């Protein structure tokens, strides 16, 4: 998933969630990879913590745990502040939908 999302950024695609559209989980990573992003009014953007195959929830791991590296490097690569990653983890599981008023802050 991360490799595919990086390609969106490298090929300088713009991403859009249309009116009434929805992205979540890995789809949110693809959306954020766009060099320009647009979310129409009413669009839903879902974020959550990831769960590792061993059952660990990413939000339960310390910030310096190596498992975060893949995602931190991804967000660095697509020029998204690392704080966005930590914010997504803070919502744990299940899915949290970013409020429209939060869009400009993410």
CA contacts within 13 A on the Cβ side of 87:
15
d(CA 47, CA 93) in angstroms, rounded, equals 9
Pair type for strands 96-97 and 44-47:
antiparallel
d(CA 22, CA 2) in angstroms, rounded, equals 19
Longest dimension (CA), the chain: 38
Find the helix or strand (DSSP H, E) in which 86 lies. helix 82-90
- What are the tens digits of pLDDT across the range 2-49? 999 999 999 999 999 999 999 999 999 999 999 999 999 999 999 999
Please compute Rg for the chain using Cα positions.
13
- What are the tens digits of pLDDT across the range 51-84? 877 777 899 999 999 999 999 999 999 999 999 9
């Amino acid at each position: 998933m991360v490799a595919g999302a990086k390609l969106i950024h490298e090929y300088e695609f713009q991403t859009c969630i249309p009116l009434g559209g929805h992205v979540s989980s890995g789809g949110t990573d693809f959306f954020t990879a766009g060099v320009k992003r647009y979310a129409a009014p009413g669009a839903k953007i879902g974020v959550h913590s990831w769960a590792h195959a061993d059952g660990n929830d990413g939000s339960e791991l310390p910030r310096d745990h190596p498992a975060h590296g893949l995602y931190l490097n991804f967000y660095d690569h697509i020029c998204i502040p690392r704080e966005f990653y930590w914010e997504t983890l803070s919502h744990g599981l299940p899915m949290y939908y970013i409020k429209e008023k939060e869009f400009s802050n993410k």
